[in-house]
A and B are shown apart, each in its own frame.
Chain A
């Protein structure tokens, strides 16, 4: 089953005005159910824009985006995905539990149902004792775990993540990667994950999609053959390093070409 289908999609900002930007050009991508796909590329390559097209927070200028076999707009209205951002974006005036309940409130769940589901999610991210705390009492990593709990609270089939671990230190980051894999395995969620970090992309994904600098296109796809069971040892395996090298070459090739061309293009 195809979770996300992006067909010949382009996105141009401020079309016709002096500050026009072609963010994405003719991008096509298929994500199968249960897959973990990372989007990686230099700054400005349009990976966050692509993610927002899937989330229907932006409309494509050309092409179509199908999510869960529906147009992206319908999928958003039906709440078929959960989203996590670089800032956890928790509401500081709500307790941790109430933060997780937010999407459920908006879906009209009653108080008892919300509490049950929220507690279940807290257990999933292993923070049950913090239900009545406030976000500012938690560390950055813990806040992101709550954000993930919130994103999955309604058990959506798809999880969209925009560099969620970007603001965390390296050790917390590696821990969170492990946690994310565990959670996704438990829930069977499809994940589209945007990142800057090559090791992170390789560790988490079954497929790494490399994007070119603006205007963004998909230039290379690296299949990561590390299997489903990943742990700390995975980072020492040869296949891990090989995949990293493949991704790096993909990025570097583009980068060199871009730098070489840089002075000619506007």
Chain B
């Protein structure tokens, strides 16, 4: 087969992979737009994508401001949660007893809607502070990162540990050369879960009162005022923010995997 032929085939295969998803997306939004117009649906019932886009572009500076508030809360909480989570996981891997103590708690907390703690966090700080939301995000991220990275540090191949011991390597050396490299993929996987979770928690925290500058509160207030198209525009911003956080975490994971076998 000629080289041209081969690259054409490759292109066609790649296209075939992307086409169904793109087609589905186009069909979905196309149908949505058409349904609103054809059935003459009122905005309070269903807003057309075109109207949403209009509002998004029209209110862009306001939307960007709100997104910055929510995004900052999410980012600060995310970073804090990662730092604390990683630090604590080192402690847990060193002291097995603590691990046994903390892990069941973390697993149980996974099932619980802990974002309701914002209600009390708001009482612990001043009414206009963004701290409660950041603490909430940090807490959620902390547990995700903790559980995953602790696993990565402790669940190493026994063969690798035996090998290091045969080299009379110290515990610190084993940590550096075996446990940490083993834990890195776990860290990045937990990041892919934690980043969207941070954004979601940042929004949900805004439903509990306090300052109303973020995306979450904007969405509810616009709904309450029956300004649905504007609300949807904020929803779009929220989706984009979440995607952004996720995309960054995927890119970071990509950097980590550069050295791995394909």
Contacts and interface: CB of A to CB of B under 8 A. Distances in A.
Contacts of B5: 18
Contacts of A18: 1, 5-6, 9
Chain B contact-residue range equals: under 10
A15 to B, nearest CB: 13
Nearest to B10: A18
Contacts of B1: 18
Interface in A121-147: none
Looking at chain A's contact residues, the main secondary structure is loop
A69 B9 CA distance: 42
Nearest to A19: B1
Contacts of B9: 17-18
Nearest to B9: A18
Interface in A1-49: 17-18
Nearest to B5: A18
A17 B8 CA distance: 12
Most buried by A among B1, B5, B6, B9: B1
A94 to B, nearest CB: 31
Interface in B72-122: none
Interface string B1-25: 1000110010000000000000000
A196 B40 CA distance: 71
A17 B5 CA distance: 10
A17 B1 CA distance: 8
A18 B7 CA distance: 11
Contacts of A17: 9
Nearest to B1: A18
Nearest to A20: B1
B181 to A, nearest CB: 33
A252 to B, nearest CB: 35
B13 to A, nearest CB: 11
B6 to A, nearest CB: 6
Interface of A: 17-18
In order of increasing CB-CB distance, the 5 nearest A-B pairs are A18-B1, A18-B6, A18-B9, A17-B9, A18-B5
5 contacts: A17-B9, A18-B1, A18-B5, A18-B6, A18-B9
